[in-house]
Amino acid sequence: MITATYEVPWSEHLMERAESIAIGMTIGAWDDVHPLRQKELRAFRGEVGFVTQVSAEVGRFSIHYPVQNIKPTIGSLLTVVFGKLSLDGAIRLVGLDLPAEFTQHFPGPALGLPGLRAKFGVHHRPFVMSIFKRENGARLDEFTEAFEQQLAGGVDWIKDDEIFFHDDNAPLFERIQVARKLLDERLERTGQKGFYAPNLVGTPKEILGTARAAVEQGADGFLVSPYVVGLDILIDLRREGIEVPIIAHPAFVGGTIAPHPYGIAPDILLGQLPRLAGADIVLFPSPYGSLGMNRNLALAVHQRHIEPSRVPEVVSGPSAGIHAGLIAQLIEDFGYDIVVNAGSAIHGHPHGTEAGARVLMDTVREVCHEL
């Protein structure tokens, strides 16, 4: 059984509502079905697990959904456990227990935290990633200069901005070739490995085709916004044999995870599901910056990324507004198994991008040494 837990406004009739959902989201009707047909349908019927009153205002209940009702995709799962329910007034999905017979069909990350640490040789500190800014309309020479500066500052990884779509002046394959050349030169010069993650955009079919072609051109990482395209794009990329690191961006989830009586708990949508689907690095709002998430909610997302599971742990990316002054707090709260992900703090440094990257990198090393 797949067990989903919900919170709703408390009512003395909550058991009736839970039973209505259990039937409605599995077989549609029960009492008016012929007894012989009921016997045939029982294996597909949902069942209420528990109903409890959390407070004077809030009730909680769980529904057990038969595994055979749900295809092994994130889209199928969410449609059953929260699709139509999301339109049914104040209701929030706060728990999702997935049995091994369901999760065994999902690829999980190609590398995850263990693979990324082994591949890049970073073991006793967080990874550090720089975000390109002002990319739309940028020329290839401007891309090259900014890439060189970020690498010179010592960051591990560099990614596109998720809003980078207009790349006519710096086409994807040309950017990949420039990045590959500069990364190889730094590796030879310093021994430091890294990767560049271009932004994959388009329909799911276009994204898959672009990813395959980009890997052939030397791409060694990708940025994807899976909540816009659908989380199953991560599954498709893995099943297509794309085994480079994939960074999942949280664009579009704000209204769904916001702390109100609707939507889905962040630890499910930003923690449990992208890890299962195949992301290696999952970005989400930090508790500190311009898009700040409640600290306990952010820590719950991170815990989902590193808790024991059939699939490898993934790298958490508490993001938005990160700068050198926050590094100590970031590491104290989340530990080493994260990526320090910054853009404006790097490019907005008064002495330029290289200096901004170096300050961030040096601060991470200093804080980790002090701890």
| Catalytic choice (39, 71, 84, 181) | 84
The total of other beta-carbon atoms located within 10 Å of residue 204's CB is: 13
DSSP 8-class letter at 350:
T
Residues 219, 103, 253, CA angle at the centre, nearest 5°? 60
In order, the DSSP letters of 295-344 are HHHHHHHHHHHHS--SSPP-EEEEESS--GGGHHHHHHHH-SSBEEEESH
Among all chains, which residue has been given the structure tokens 């449609």?
79
Contacts of 264 (CB under 8 A, 6+ apart): 82, 92, 93, 256, 257
Encoding tokens for residue 157?
């990884």
Burial group, residue 36, by CB count within 10 angstroms (0-12, 13-18, 19+): exposed
In angstroms, the CA 326 to CA 142 distance is: 29
Burial group, residue 143, by CB count within 10 angstroms (0-12, 13-18, 19+): buried
Reference 248, options 162, 333, 334, 158; nearest CA is: 162
φ and ψ at residue 206, rounded to 5 degrees: -65, -40
- 3-class secondary-structure state, position 96: strand
φ and ψ at residue 49, rounded to 5 degrees: -85, -70
In angstroms, the CA 275 to CA 108 distance is: 6
- 3-class secondary-structure state, position 352: coil
In angstroms, the CA 65 to CA 347 distance is: 49
71 is an active site residue: no
Reference 95, options 304, 327, 326, 281; nearest CA is: 304
Within its chain, how far is the Cα of 212 from the centroid?
21
Q: Could you list the active site residues?
A: 84
